[in-house]
Every structure is written in structure tokens, then in C-alpha cells.
Structure 1
């Protein structure tokens, strides 16, 4: 599973907005990998930010 898929799965599983640091901790990925994956997910509009620096999957 690539980093983008892993990040998205962690967000879906947790069911609440998470910061990049929390995602990195839960997924076991490096923070830089998480940031890169989140950038891709944001450009695809797969994730949204309900509050500053926190992300969740788009409904």
C-alpha cells in the first residue's frame, strides 16, 4: 500500500480530524511521506480541513 492510501485509510478509520503528526504516528510513516501524501489528497479533494491543521476524509 502506498503512502497516500495509508494516510487516507488512517483518516477513515479514526473517524475524527487529525493532524499530520498524528497521522504519521498512527500509520508508522515518516512525517515527510505523510505531508507529501496529504498534498496529493488535497489536490484530489479527497480530504478536507474542518479546522486549521486538521484533516478528515471528504464526506
Structure 2
């Protein structure tokens, strides 16, 4: 089975998420912000809204 570039793609998604958190919510540790985005959908919606809706 050929997995192609899945590892590189996931690494890119992780870096993108870390950069969004780093630029939009600089007062919070990245690990805490990722955890908060997992458990609090409104926090995630707010982060994505800042990036994609201007």
C-alpha cells in the first residue's frame, strides 16, 4: 500500500494550526490553545473566524 505524501501533508496541517494559534492568540501556550480548541468549539470558531473572515 502506497501512502504517498500523507506524513508531509499532516505536518503541514500541524504547522498551519500552530501558526494560526501563535499569531491570533499570542498570550496562550500552543499546547493549551490546541487543547482549548478541541474542547471549546466557540474558541476554535473564533480562531478560524479571525483567519478566514475579515
Q: Quick check: TM above 0.5?
A: no
> Shorter chain as normaliser: what TM range?
0.3 to 0.5
Q: Which structure is higher in helix share?
A: 2
TM (norm. structure 1) is 0.32
Greater Rg over alpha carbons, structure: 2
Which structure has more RCO (C-alpha within 8 Å, separation ≥ 6)? 1
TM-score, normalising length: structure 2: 0.34
